[in-house]
Amino acid sequence: MVAKYQRTSSAVEGRNGYLSRLHHARRGLSKQSLQVLTIIHNFDLQRADGSTTAQRLFDRSFPNLFDWVVESLGDLPLPRQSAKAHSSNSVSTWAFPP
């Protein structure tokens, strides 16, 4: 019974809340989600001295993870056009009486 106990506020406590929600739903983590969380943990989370796990392990510095992702994205696609934008009657010709 004690092993299954969860605090009621755990659903709103960041990563632990996210993991407890997945555990509670009995879905677990997909391989892709686990890989993403591992990359964030190794290359983005910093200690008080500003070093990451990857910096300490490989003894070299790495670029900022967020900046690297933004630079590698390239141009974002344009949004889709709505059906109303293609209509020839989209501009109203009705005018107020004088």
Q: What is the mean pLDDT of the chain?
A: 75
Q: Is residue 45 part of a domain?
A: yes
Q: Is residue 21 part of a domain?
A: no
Q: Is residue 56 part of a domain?
A: yes
Q: Is residue 49 part of a domain?
A: yes
Q: Is residue 9 part of a domain?
A: no
Neighbours of 94 (CB within 10 A): 4
pTM: 0.48
What pLDDT is recorded for position 85?
A: 61
* Length of the chain in terms of residues written: 98
Q: Is residue 25 part of a domain?
A: no
Whole domain around residue 45: which residue ranges?
Answer: 30-67
- Dig out the tokens for 96 from the structure: 């107020």
User: Who contacts 52 (Cβ-Cβ below 8 Å, separation ≥6)?
Assistant: 42, 43, 44, 45, 46, 62
Residues 55-67 pLDDT 10s:
999 999 988 988 9
Q: Is residue 81 part of a domain?
A: no
Residues 27-49 pLDDT 10s:
667 788 889 888 888 898 889 99
Give me the phi and psi of 46, to 5 degrees please: -120, 150
Top pLDDT among 94 and 20 is at: 20
